Structure 1
Amino acid sequence: MYHWYGMGGHWWSWLGWLALLIIVVLIVYIIVKTLNSRSEFSSKKENSTTEALKILNERYARDEISEEEYLHRKETLTEDRTR
């Protein structure tokens, strides 16, 4: 039936399937990249907080800051900022 009246449409159907496959692959790629970027952001945030606490502990150990200032800064660094 594809070749009726000189219409050779058989290869067009393959292009449609190829286009659909490309669209599905792009959607999956976008979803994976989005999920990975969220987890990377979370781990970077944890790493920066850990590094800041390490520096704060070192400064307190060297007696560069008071206990009150240490506790205040530690509380500020560890509080949940997802609000």
Structure 2
Amino acid sequence: MMGGYGIIGGFGMFINLLLIGIVIYVVFKLSNGSYSIRNGGNEAINILNQRYANSKISEEEYIQKKKMLRE
């Protein structure tokens, strides 16, 4: 007996390591800020600032939306 580390056992161990690697990658990406709510809020404020700077929205609308985003 090979203790479960034959061809099939080795393949199973590879799949397990691959799954662990994927989980670690996803956790890192989520905690790194690419999907963070905080960064999403900053991005929304940046877009709002650009729209105001390009005169696409009024000052009243800008102040109202900025207040909503900060809450």
Pick the TM interval, shorter chain. 0.5 to 0.7
State the match for 1:33 in structure 2: 25
* 1:70 alignment partner, SS class: helix
How far is 1:72 from its partner? 0.6
Instruction: State the distance in 2 between where 1:13 and 1:73 align.
Output: 61
User: 8 Å contact 1:56–1:74 — kept in the other structure?
Assistant: no
Q: Which has the larger radius of gyration?
A: 1
Higher helix share: 1
TM-score normalised by structure 2 residue count = 0.53
Higher relative contact order (CA 8 A, sep 6+): 2
Corresponding residue number in structure 2 for 1:55: 50
State the alpha-carbon separation in 1 of the partners of residues 70 and 25 from structure 2. 28
- Aligned-pair CA distance for 1:74: 0.7
Q: Where do 1:2-81 residues align within 5 Å?
A: 9-10=1-2, 13-15=4-6, 16=9, 18-38=10-30, 39-42=33-36, 45-46=40-41, 48-59=43-54, 65-66=58-59, 68-79=60-71
Q: Conserved in 2, the CA contact under 8 Å of 1:53 and 1:74?
A: yes
Q: Give the Å deviation of 1:28.
A: 1.5
Tell me, in whole angstroms, the C-alpha distance in 2 between the residues paired with 1:70 and 1:77. Answer: 11
